[in-house]
Amino acid sequence: MWLEILLASVLGFLIYWFVSRDKEETLPLGDGWWGPGAKPTAREDESIRPFKVETSEEEINDLYQRIDRFRPTPPLEGSRFHYGFNSKYLKKVLSYWRNEFDWRKQVEILNKYPHFKTKIEGLDIHFVHVKPPQLPPGYTSKPLLMVHGWPGSFYEFYKIIPLLTDPKSHGLSDEHVFEVICPSIPGYGFSEASSKKGLDTVATARIFYKLMLRLGFQEFYIQGGDWGSLVCTNMAQLVPSHVKGLHLNMAFIVRNTYTLSLLLGQRFGRLLGYTEKDIERIYPLKEKVFYSILRESGYMHIQATKPDTVGCALNDSPVGLAAYILEKFSTWTNPEFRDLEDGGLERKFSLDDLLTNIMLYWTTGTIIPSQRYYKENLGQGIMTQKHETMKVFVPTGFAAFPCELLHAPERLIRTKYPKLLSYSYMDRGGHFAALEEPKLLAQDIRKFVTLVERQ
């Protein structure tokens, strides 16, 4: 017993020594040009232009014709969602999409918030910018940049935006009122795709930093999940003096000690600083980490190696695109949903919301560039980029949702984000937190900002 305690203590000290020796440093800001051809000698147009989402009869009729030509393959008996999207339930989704879903109405909903575009590093960058409808006397709004991931979009934030910009109308305290900016990552939705190789999360972070400066913000809060968490992390590494606070609901921890900590945690979890909730969410390791990675990472291997190949099929078939993306909204929301015939999709989301997100990929033809983002970020392998081994020295808040793909204990989050001010075990929710549990996420953001403002 004493030998085990001594061994755990020594290992704990070694882990602490490895992760605490990093220096406080920043990423070089650099510059880039992602438009077609060589960078023009003339100064880039920095104007901010209003943008409106539109549709047409031709667009809708083409969609209907393609849905009508769907060739289904019957699912295996009792397969549920274990083989991917169940084609029996897919028929129900397609029937709704073809006969009941009103894209024109959803376009009106998309346009209820102001949209804009502006050229940055050769690309037309799209963003939604929502200001508070009213401010308490003497208050100023707090700028908050929110960044989506794959296979999501800026639309993920539509339910949380009013809770942040108009909290009093939704039964929340008006201590913090935010001005929310939701950009589309280049190659997603209405943001122009890069013409050149190499546009990764660091380049995206620099582009979004320039966007915030262009909007007149020298200091601001940032929030993200999925790729958005890495974009925001990179922004904090690039320009920490401009980031007032960083809030995440997912984290990429790729330090050498991460795997060792997980392996030791089941036996020495308490000595390593794991809580009872951490242990419940991570172990048994074989089921909750190893099998989870095997089951859910196939798409990532494809997209990090040859995204254009499968992308051709998805860009040509709205049915294939819907199955490919909606399967993630099932199992990434709750892994137990794979045991259900309908994947549990309508337990947490409406078909209108899910299909609106699909339409943002379909109508813009952006599934291929969105998938290329994996190759740009992961194609060179893990632990090959400087930002992966760097710590983040800005105030940080973390919301740990119980059904996130991989649970990150506070002990490990702190190794990457030493200025962690808040870490919250959320009561419910999964990967698409802003869309699934907007009120919970909004409350945690507000709690974190309170801690930052009172420092």
Strands of the 243-248 sheet, one edge to the other = 48-51, 115-120, 123-130, 178-183, 142-147, 220-224, 243-248, 396-400, 420-425
| Least confident range of 18-32, 150-164, 336-350, 357-371 | 18-32
* Residue 22 confidence class, pLDDT cut points 50, 70, 90: low
Residue 256: band (very low, low, confident or very high) from pLDDT cuts 50, 70, 90: low
Does residue 284 belong to any structural domain of this protein? Answer: no
- Identify whether 226 is a catalytic site residue: yes
Percent of the chain with pLDDT over 70: 93
Beta bridge partners of 180: 130, 144
CB 401 within 8 A of CB 226: no
- pTM score: 0.93
Residue 268 domain flag: no
Is the bond preceding 151 in cis, omega lying within 30 degrees of 0? Answer: yes
293's CB contacts (< 8 A; 6+ apart) are 406
Q: Which of 68, 49, 81, 21 is CA-nearest to residue 326?
A: 81
Assigned domain for 360 exists:
yes
Rounded to 5°, angle at Cα 289 from 285 and 294: 130
The confidence score (pLDDT) of residue 15 equals 47
Cα distance between residue 173 and residue 322, in whole Å: 38
Q: Can you give the pLDDT at residue 80?
A: 97
Each residue's pLDDT tens digit, 341-367 = 999 999 999 999 999 999 999 999 999
Residue 416's SS3 state is: helix
Examine residue 23 and state whether it is found in any structural domain, yes or no: no
pLDDT in tens, 43-77: 999 999 999 999 999 999 999 999 999 999 999 99
pLDDT in tens, 376-431: 999 988 878 999 999 999 999 999 999 999 999 999 999 999 999 999 999 999 99
Q: What is the CATH number of the domain that holds 302?
A: 3.40.50.1820
Active-site annotation holder among 200, 226, 278, 444: 226
Share of the chain above pLDDT 90, in %: 81
Q: The dihedral of CA 365, 368, 371, 373: what is its sign?
A: negative
Flag whether 151 is in a domain. yes
How far is the C-alpha of 29 from the C-alpha of 102, rounded, in Å? 44
Supply the mean pLDDT for the chain.
Answer: 92
Ramachandran bin of 344, using left for φ above 0, alpha for ψ from -120 to 50, beta for the remaining angles: left
Q: Out of 126, 176, 247, 431, which one is annotated catalytic?
A: 431
Does residue 46 lie in a domain region?
Answer: no
Give the model's pLDDT for residue 383: 79
What average pLDDT does the segment 231-258 reach?
A: 91
Does 17 reside within a domain?
no
Q: How far is CA 373 from CA 14, 51, 206, 211, 221, in A?
A: 35, 24, 15, 20, 24
Q: Give residue 421's domain range.
A: 52-260+293-453
Pick the closest to residue 390 from 112, 111, 28, 52 (CA basis): 28
Q: Which of 376, 272, 351 is nearest to 34 (CA)?
A: 376
Asked whether 118 and 124 are in contact (CB, 8 A), the reply is: yes
Active site residue 68: no
HSE-CB of 250 using CA atoms within 13 angstroms: 24
Among 113, 374, 417, 423, the active-site one is 374
Say if 93 falls within a structural domain: yes
Q: Is 50 exposed, middle or buried (0-12, 13-18, 19+ CB in 10 A)?
A: exposed
Residues 448 and 419: their CA atoms lie apart, in Å, by 12
- Active site annotation includes 431: yes
101: left (phi over 0), alpha (psi -120 to 50) or beta: beta
The 10s digit of each residue's pLDDT in 178-210 is: 999 999 999 999 999 999 999 999 999 999 999
Q: What is the DSSP string of 123-142?
A: EEEEEEEE--S---TT--PE
Query: So what's the pLDDT on residue 257?
Result: 63
Looking at the structure of the chain, the number of domains it has is 1
User: Over the stretch 299-346, which tens digit does the pLDDT of each residue have?
Assistant: 999 999 999 999 999 999 999 999 999 999 999 999 999 999 999 999
pLDDT at residue 20 greater than cutoff 60: no
* pLDDT at residue 13, rounded to an integer: 44
Report the first-to-last Cα separation within the chain, whole angstroms. Answer: 43
Helix 367-378 × helix 351-362 angle, to 10°: 80
